[in-house]
């Protein structure tokens, strides 16, 4: 949803429109870097499950939240978890300052006075989480915000947040949006607890235990297209045994091997249907998605979807052409036969680089 685009606002009204857009969520004093220059800003928002995603592109500004603003906060304040995707951000909180670049996660609690902004053209992507749902004391969130990189989970959460922002509109409409938001809140909570405490403290251990399944699945999604992704590698990455790994997944009703196959096939199906990847051969798509050979990939794809990769690509192209015709001419869309879908019956196997499956863990999946 588009919240604000200053390009549609008269120049003399842009500063007020910018202030109004910010006050809809959190009250602040706004100071633009060059108020005499042309102000540019665009605010977009998506709702994924129970969390809001807000993206901002704008010219330089600084917002200050003071004690007077804190008296006007909502009954249910939020914690923002943001990525600086353009320019260099600046945060000052409690006399401490941070500079934010493309690899930095910034966490700010709404109930704290602070200064935030950037110079020149900049952009940020913020995830807004209900503070009550996060369930952490304000002081823990503030302290953790300055120590995030001390947590061993930092890179994992950074990768998860970036993945969430690849296509927020798609995530918003996905049936799994609620589960995704729950997993995201769990990862953020674990990161904050880990950063705010020493590694040996009981809260850190409890947070790591509570989010182990979420962290495993997030890791698998990040590395699912790598042919050398093995159960042993996943277990070592999370400091657990291979048996413990299968037990954790088994309690959630997940077969590691089948889950990974389905993840790779879904990615392959999206690539085959995308005009941007039309020039890729089936073998190239198979390689990009972690399959060791085109023939092995084709067998798996047909077993899962009832079509070969080439047949699915042709179907997707015909469907796209029909939609384009409908939009252009307003004509009825030609009927396109939907692909038959059949469930794969070869559960419990991870493809190796040469296309041969590894045996699944007995009793799991």
What confidence score (pLDDT) does residue 27 get?
Answer: 74
What confidence score (pLDDT) does residue 175 get?
Answer: 81
What confidence score (pLDDT) does residue 358 get?
Answer: 39
Q: Which is more confident, 205 or 49?
A: 49
For 218, the token pair is 């997030």
The per-residue pLDDT of the chain, averaged, comes to: 81
Cβ–Cβ under 8 Å, residues 141 and 192: yes
Q: Given pLDDT bands bounded at 50, 70 and 90, which one contains residue 339?
A: very low
What confidence score (pLDDT) does residue 326 get?
Answer: 65
Q: What's 124's DSSP letter? A: E
In degrees rounded to 5, what are phi and psi of residue 284? -70, -40
Q: Cα–Cα distance between 112 and 133 in angstroms, integer?
A: 18
H or E, element range at 51:
strand 51-58
What confidence score (pLDDT) does residue 209 get?
Answer: 67
Single out the residue of 97, 96, 123, 93 nearest to residue 108, CA to CA: 93
Summarize pLDDT for 71-111 with one digit per residue, the tens.
666 567 889 999 999 999 999 987 888 899 989 999 988 88
**Block residue for tokens 């969390």:** 51
Q: Which is more confident, 332 or 78?
A: 78
What confidence score (pLDDT) does residue 205 get?
Answer: 56
For residue 348, is pLDDT > 50? Answer: no
Average pLDDT, integer, range 138-153 = 86
What confidence score (pLDDT) does residue 203 get?
Answer: 55
Which residues, in sequence order, are CB contacts of 70 under 8 Å at separation 6+? 111, 113
Q: Cα–Cα distance between 55 and 43 in angstroms, integer?
A: 6
Least confident of 46-50, 52-56, 150-154, 325-329: 325-329
Q: Quote the pTM value.
A: 0.58
What confidence score (pLDDT) does residue 58 get?
Answer: 93
Q: How many CA atoms, within 13 angstroms, populate the side-chain half-sphere of residue 264?
A: 30
């Amino acid at each position: 949803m588009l919240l604000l685009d200053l390009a549609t606002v008269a120049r003399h009204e842009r500063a007020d429109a910018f202030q109004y857009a910010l006050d809809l969520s959190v009250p602040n004093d706004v100071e633009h870097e060059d108020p005499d220059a042309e102000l540019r800003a665009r605010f977009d928002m998506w709702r994924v499950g129970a969390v809001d995603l807000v993206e901002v592109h704008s010219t330089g500004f600084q917002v200050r939240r003071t004690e007077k603003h804190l008296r006007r906060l909502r009954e249910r304040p939020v914690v923002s978890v943001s990525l600086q995707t353009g320019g260099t951000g600046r945060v000052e909180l409690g006399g401490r300052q941070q500079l934010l670049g493309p690899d930095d996660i910034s966490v700010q609690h709404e109930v704290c006075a602070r200064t935030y902004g950037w110079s020149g053209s900049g952009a940020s992507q913020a995830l807004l989480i209900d503070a009550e749902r996060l369930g952490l004391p304000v002081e823990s969130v503030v302290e953790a915000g300055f120590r995030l990189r001390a947590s061993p989970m930092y890179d994992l959460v950074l990768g998860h947040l970036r993945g969430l922002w690849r296509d927020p509109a798609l995530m918003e409409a996905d049936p799994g949006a609620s589960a995704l938001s729950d997993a995201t809140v769990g990862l953020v909570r674990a990161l904050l607890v880990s950063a705010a405490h020493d590694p040996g403290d009981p809260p850190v251990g409890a947070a790591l235990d509570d989010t182990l399944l979420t962290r495993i699945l997030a890791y698998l999604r990040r590395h699912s297209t790598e042919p050398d992704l093995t159960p042993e590698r996943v277990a070592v990455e999370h400091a657990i045994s291979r048996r413990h790994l299968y037990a954790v997944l088994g309690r959630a009703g997940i077969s590691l091997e089948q889950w990974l196959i389905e993840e790779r096939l879904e990615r392959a199906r999206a690539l085959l249907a995308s005009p941007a990847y039309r020039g890729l051969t089936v073998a190239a798509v198979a390689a990009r998605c972690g399959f060791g050979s085109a023939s092995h990939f084709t067998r798996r794809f047909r077993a899962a979807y009832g079509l070969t990769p080439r047949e699915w690509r042709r179907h997707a192209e015909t469907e796209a052409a029909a939609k384009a015709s409908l939009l252009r001419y307003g004509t009825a869309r030609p009927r396109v036969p939907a692909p038959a879908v059949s469930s794969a019956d070869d559960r419990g196997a991870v493809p190796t680089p040469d296309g041969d499956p590894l045996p699944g863990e007995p009793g799991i999946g």
